[in-house]
Structure formats: C-alpha cells, structure tokens
Structure 1
Amino acid sequence: MITLFSYPDLFGLEDNNPYGLKVFAFLKLCGLPFEHRHTLDAKAAPRGQLPYVDDGGQSIGDSDAIVSHLKRKYRLPIDDALTPFQRDLDLLVRRALDDLYWVMSYSRWRDPRFWTAFRDALLRTHPEIAADDLEAARKYNFDRYHYQGIGRFSPKEVYARGIADLQVVANMTGDRGFLFGPDPNSIDAGVYGFVANIVFYDIDTPLKLFVLSQPNLVRHCHAVRAAMDNRAVSRQPL
C-alpha cells in the first residue's frame, strides 16, 4: 500500500501545500489506491521535507521524485504520449511552479495583510495545532525567504514575480482539455496543486485576484478536480 504523508487540509483541499496536493492529484488521476495521512512532523521524511510517500517500506521524498518513482514502478501510462517537446515544456512549467511556490508561501506567512487570516483559518480548522508553533514556523519562514532571496524584494515585486509565473501557465492553458491534450498528464496534477491552492484559498491575495481574472486557469482547475473524482478514491486512516 502507498501511504502519502503531507501537510494538513485547509479550505476544503486535501493539502494546503501545493506539492502535497500535486502528489495527491497525481495518485488520483492514475487510479492508484493509497492512504493519506496528514502531519506536520517531517522528521521521518527523506530530506526532512513534506510531502513524502511510503511505498511498501520505501520512503521517497520530493514531489517530482515521487511522481517519477510511481510512474516507473507501476508502469503508469499517464505521460507516455508526450512528445519530446512536450516533455521539455513539462520541465519548464514545473520550474516556473517552483518559483511560484515562494510567492504563495510569502503571501501566507510573511505578508501582514494576509498572515492573521491564514493563521486563524489553520487554528480554526485544526485546533490541535498550537498558535505558538505557527509563530515559530513564521519566524523560520522569514529566514527562508531572506536566504532564498524573495524576502529582499518589496511586496509589489514579489507578487509581480508570482503573477508572471501564473501568466505563463495561463497562456499555455486552452479553453478546453488539459495542457497537452484531451486527457490529463502529470503536469496537470502539478498545475492543479498550485492553482487550486490559490482558487480555493479563502483570502483575496493578489495571486487569487489574478487567477480569478483568468477563466482558463479556473476551468482547468475544475477539470482536473472532476477527472480526479472519476478515478479511485484514497483511503483515510481510521
């Protein structure tokens, strides 16, 4: 049995972290049975980061590494029809999403306009989480943003960077189907992990306002969700 360990749910999404939601969506789109466990403790995770999966006793971390492992081990055909050019685009989109991650995280933990609403939503949804732990996580994230570099930009510059990433994805997303055709590929799970964590995020950050101005991104998000719902259902632990 595959077990996915990822951050807690929020705003009706199975994971409030885009990478964990990406893996969740990938598993669902491929119809693989799995158990989903929410945690904040990453000590058992490879590299000490969430998400990770335990696949028959083998632990795999990093969302891209997880997807590669699952495709290889279970001979999943989800990306078999991609052309070499589409595989290159897949990589470039994933790298743009990696850049977008920092802006999304900044909007939740760093920007004082949105931090308290995000904190309160977490505490309301998960009363077992201590407010002091969130404050400690916020301080830790401040350090991460500084050393990564995004913490040295003004808020206006930060959001301009994230919106530029989203604009590229919006430009690639048509009015029908998925990024590379009528059926979803693994890149659609990746895009969903990020866009859903903006669309369903119940706080009007600049990222959300931009996504809502792009009907094709919203349509794509709901199309992936519908495709996930038509596949196998994960099993929550008792």
Structure 2
Amino acid sequence: MITLYSYPGLFGVADNNGYGLKVFAFLKLTGLPFRQEHIVDASAAPRGQLPYIVDGGDTVGDSDVIISHLTRRYGLTIDAGLTPAQRDIGHLVTRMLDDLYWVMSYSRWKDERFWPAFRDALRHEHPDLTDEQLRTARDFNAQRYYYQGIGRYAPDEAYARGIADLRVLAHLVPASGFLFGENPTSFDAAIYGFLANIHFYDIETPLKAFVAGHADLVRHCTTLHGLIGRDGEIASPA
C-alpha cells in the first residue's frame, strides 16, 4: 500500500501544508488506497522536503513528481479528458500556487501578528510538538524566506503578492463544477490544497479575508472538502 508522509493536519484539513494536502486530495479523488503518516522531520525525505510517498520499492518526493508517478504506475485517468490548452493552463496555475505558497507560509511563521495564534493552534492540536521543534522550524523558515525573497517584503507587500495570485484563481474558478468541467482533475486537487489551508485556517489573515469574499473560491474549496474530508488512513476505491 502507498504511504504518504506529510505534515500534521490543522483546522480540520489533513495536512497544514498546501503540497501535502494536494497529494492527499489527489489520492482521495483517484481512489487509490493509501496510509497517511504525519511527520515534522523531513530529513529522511527526498530533497529534505515533504510530502513524499513510499510506493512499494519506490520513494518519491515533490508533489508534481508524485502525481506523475502515480498516474503512470496505476494508469489513472483523472486528467485523461483534458485538452493540451487546459493542461497548459493547469501548469500555469500550478506555478502560481508555488508563488502563493510563500505568502501563506510567511503569514504563519514570519508575521508577528499571526505567529502566536498559529503556534498555539499547533500546540493545541499536536501537543507532542516541542518548543525546540517549533523554534527550529521558525528559524529555518526565516532563512528560507530571506533567500527566496518574500522575507525581505513588508507584510502588506507580501500579502498584496498573494492576493494577486488569489484574484487570478477567483477569475478562473467557475461558479459551478470544477476548473475544467463537471469532474475534478489533479489541478483541482492542487487548488484545494492551498485554498483549504486558507479558507479553513482559523486565523484572520488578509489571505483568508480575500477568499471569504469570493463565493466561487469558497464553493470550490468546500465542495472538494466534502468529497475528500480529513480521514487519510484508507481511501475507498472509486
């Protein structure tokens, strides 16, 4: 059976990181049986990053690589009906979500207005997390933000960047159905991974306020959440 290694859940979602939740959603939507193990130490992961999966003798990291691996190995058809143009749009959305990730992470670990509430929420839901682990994670993220660039932004500038990404999503996500029609694709799983970690996030950041003000984003997120849920022990076959 496939094992998904990803960060702990928070606020009712199966992973408090957009990339891990993206893979979780993909597995659920495709009906592949899997186990989910929540970890915080990524030192054993490919490239030292979560999520990753162990699938038989293969260990695969990076959410996009994981999805490609699973699609090939199991002959998954979730994206089979997409046109080349739709795949191109999906690729662009995926890259935009990569940009949004940094702003989301900044709002949790960097912004002093929201860090205490995030820290306390993690401690409440995962009491086994130690002060040292949280301090190490925060220091590590501060270094990443600086070298990536978002750490050199003032908070309002950082959120303006993330809201610009969300505004594009608000234009693309339809009032009914999913990104490319009546059935969800891997790109909907990717969008859910990030929107759910904003919409269900119980801390009032500027990103959350923007999503709350856009009914199509909320509908897309909650519809997929209803299909996916939080239980990651076994996904029922489709």
TM-score with structure 2 length normalisation? 0.96
Q: Which residue of 2 aligns with 1:171?
A: 171
Does the Cα contact within 8 Å between 1:2 and 1:54 map onto a contact in 2?
A: yes
Measured against aligned partners, the alpha-carbon deviations of 1:203-223 in whole angstroms (never above 9, x if no partner) come to: 000000000000000000011
Letter in 2 for 1:122: L
Distance 2:36 2:137 in 1: 23
Deviation at 1:39, TM superposition (A): 0.4
Deviation at 1:131, TM superposition (A): 1.5
Distance 2:141 2:227 in 1: 34
Does the Cα contact within 8 Å between 2:109 and 2:115 map onto a contact in 1?
A: yes
Q: Which residue of 1 aligns with 2:129?
A: 129
Letter in 1 for 2:206: P
Distance 1:192 1:154 in 2: 27
2:149 paired with 1:149: yes
After TM superposition, the runs of 4+ consecutive aligned structure 1 residues lying more than 4 A away are: none
Q: Which residue of 2 aligns with 1:25?
A: 25
- Identity over aligned pairs, percent: 62
SS in 1 for 2:3: strand
Distance 1:173 1:56 in 2: 36
Q: Which residue of 1 aligns with 2:59?
A: 59
Q: Which residue of 1 aligns with 2:16?
A: 16
Letter in 2 for 1:18: G
Does the Cα contact within 8 Å between 2:170 and 2:217 map onto a contact in 1?
A: yes
Distance 1:171 1:224 in 2: 18
Q: Which residue of 2 aligns with 1:112?
A: 112
Deviation at 1:234, TM superposition (A): 3.9
Distance 2:121 2:155 in 1: 22
Aligned pairs, number: 233
Distance 1:86 1:134 in 2: 40
* Deviation larger for 37-46 or 71-80: 37-46
Deviation at 1:226, TM superposition (A): 2.5
Does the Cα contact within 8 Å between 1:33 and 1:234 map onto a contact in 2?
A: no
Distance 1:106 1:42 in 2: 19
2:103 paired with 1:103: yes
Deviation at 1:133, TM superposition (A): 1.6
Letter in 2 for 1:77: T
Distance 1:200 1:234 in 2: 18
SS in 2 for 1:36: strand
TM-score with structure 1 length normalisation? 0.96
Does the Cα contact within 8 Å between 2:19 and 2:193 map onto a contact in 1?
A: yes
Distance 1:38 1:13 in 2: 12
Deviation at 1:137, TM superposition (A): 1.2
Consecutive unaligned residues of structure 2, counting only runs of 5 or more, are none
Consecutive unaligned residues of structure 1, counting only runs of 5 or more, are none
* Deviation larger for 80-89 or 37-46: 37-46
SS in 1 for 2:4: strand
2:233 paired with 1:235: yes
* Deviation larger for 137-146 or 27-36: 137-146
Distance 1:152 1:21 in 2: 27
Distance 1:196 1:228 in 2: 11
Q: CA RMSD in A?
A: 1.0
